[in-house]
Amino acid sequence: MAARRVSMADVAALAGVSGQTVSRVVNDSPRVDPATRAKVESAMARLGYRPHRAARALRTGRTQTIGLVASTLATVGNSRMLQAVADAAASRGYALVVVTLGHGSDVAAAFDRLHDQGVDGAIVLNEATDLVRDAETPADLALVVVDSPRDERFGVVVTDHAGGARAATEHLLGLGHATVHHVAGPPASFAAAERERGWREALAGAGIDAPDVARGDWTAASGAFAGAALAVDRSVTAVFAANDQMALGVLRTFAESGRPAPDAVSVVGFDDVADAADYRPPLTTVRQDFDALGERALERLVAAIEDAAEPAYDVIPARLVVRASTAPR
């Protein structure tokens, strides 16, 4: 019962070589005779040998593990990022440990925990611009931050929020709306700021003064609240919400005020969550490519860990998806 696990020594004994040779086979060293390699490999297969991560980590100082830091996993965007990162990590042989920020939103504590875990690097989903900016980044930890301003201390991967927002706004203007109102995300959010910037740029490009923004906290409830104020203003015919869930709230309050989309108002969201196509009406929105984002973040992180690559800056495009919540004015 107490079958001790198979170690390198067992494989070495069966193959009639030294442990070091087994190690070389395992690590794909070129310095191994093909015949020897075959012998060792068959011995490994026969015994069902698996390298012992902890032992290797102890010896090499590398754990083949990366951390993912997020304030919460309960949002659609974060969980889709997580999924993408998890898949990408698995395919490269890295384990992924998840660290969520406590209620204190204490990034330093999160880095501390990662340090404890001995991760080789970390990906941070940066929901508040100053999250990472203020925390001193541990020197010995490779870092890639998602949705952050460019920074030379760590890699950065971002969705083109501003570009997506511009496309959304221009789409609405193109439909003949005199202006476009905006329900923005929380002030601390980098993504929210970028989306707002894109919206302003599009309006400025059309020579239109930007109206006051309403501000929500990404939840549908906050979108509904903001929408209630907009709905009573008959001059509002087009609303760009900074995410789909707030758009959902906007759709609801406009409908309840007797001004349903798309006849009385056009609404655009951001993200393209799975449900967006089944909102009423189906929501025109900007699709974020979470898979590409996660994949790229991991790729950069692994490059930093394994090849000491310099921090890079990558922008992933976002694409407008037109559905039924927008119509010509």
Partner DNA sequence: AGCGTCTGTGTTATCGTCAACATGGAATCG
Partner DNA sequence: CGATTCCATGTTGACGATAACACAGACGCT
Q: Is 42 an interacting residue with respect to DNA (CB under 7 A)?
A: no
Nearer Cβ to DNA (4/234): 4
Contact residue for DNA among 13, 26, 221, 303 (CB under 7 A):
26
Q: Is 21 an interacting residue with respect to DNA (CB under 7 A)?
A: yes
Q: Is 35 an interacting residue with respect to DNA (CB under 7 A)?
A: yes
Contact residue for a copy of itself among 65, 159, 189, 288 (CB under 8 A):
65
Nearer Cβ to DNA (118/311): 118
Phi, psi (deg, nearest 5) at residue 156: -135, 135
Q: Shortest gap between Cβ of 260 and a copy of itself (angstroms)? A: 9
Contact residue for DNA among 59, 74, 116, 278 (CB under 7 A):
59
* Of 289, 315, 310, the residue nearest 143 (C-alpha): 310
Contact residue for a copy of itself among 172, 184, 220, 298 (CB under 8 A):
220
Exposure string (b/e) for 177-199, b if CB count within 10 Å is 16 or more?
bebbbbbbbbeebbbbbbbbebb
Q: How far apart are CA 152 and CA 314, in angstroms?
A: 13
* Segment 60 to 99, residues that bind DNA, using CB under 7 A: 60
Q: Is 144 an interacting residue with respect to DNA (CB under 7 A)?
A: no
Phi, psi (deg, nearest 5) at residue 262: -95, 0
Q: Residue 159 corresponds to which tokens in the numbers above?
A: 């969705």
H or E element that contains 209? none
Q: Shortest gap between Cβ of 98 and DNA (angstroms)? A: 24
Phi, psi (deg, nearest 5) at residue 20: -60, -40
Range in contact with a copy of itself (rule: CB under 8 A) among 30-38, 172-180, 275-283, 294-302: 275-283
Question: Looking up tokens 């990662």, which residue turns up?
Answer: 114
Nearer Cβ to DNA (26/109): 26
Contact residue for DNA among 38, 58, 73, 232 (CB under 7 A):
58
Nearer Cβ to a copy of itself (193/290): 290
* 3-state SS class at 157: strand
Q: Is 153 an interacting residue with respect to a copy of itself (CB under 8 A)?
A: no
Range in contact with a copy of itself (rule: CB under 8 A) among 144-152, 159-167, 243-251, 294-302: 243-251
Nearer Cβ to DNA (58/90): 58
Q: How far apart are CA 168 and CA 171, in angstroms?
A: 5
The one-letter amino acid code at 189 reads S
Check: CB of residue 182 under 8 Å from CB of residue 196: yes
Q: Is 80 an interacting residue with respect to a copy of itself (CB under 8 A)?
A: yes
Q: How far apart are CA 251 and CA 73, in angstroms?
A: 25
Q: How far apart are CA 231 and CA 168, in angstroms?
A: 20
Q: How far apart are CA 212 and CA 200, in angstroms?
A: 11
Phi-psi region of 214 (alpha: psi -120 to 50; beta: other; left: phi over 0): beta
Entry field: residues in the chain? 329
Q: Which chain residues interact with a copy of itself by CB under 8 A?
A: 50, 52-55, 57-58, 63, 65, 72-74, 76, 78-80, 82-83, 86-87, 90, 95-100, 113, 115-118, 219-221, 223-224, 245, 248-249, 251-252, 255-256, 274-275, 277-280
Binding residues (CB under 7 A) for DNA: these are 4-5, 7-9, 16-21, 23-24, 26-27, 30-33, 35-37, 49-52, 55-56, 58-60
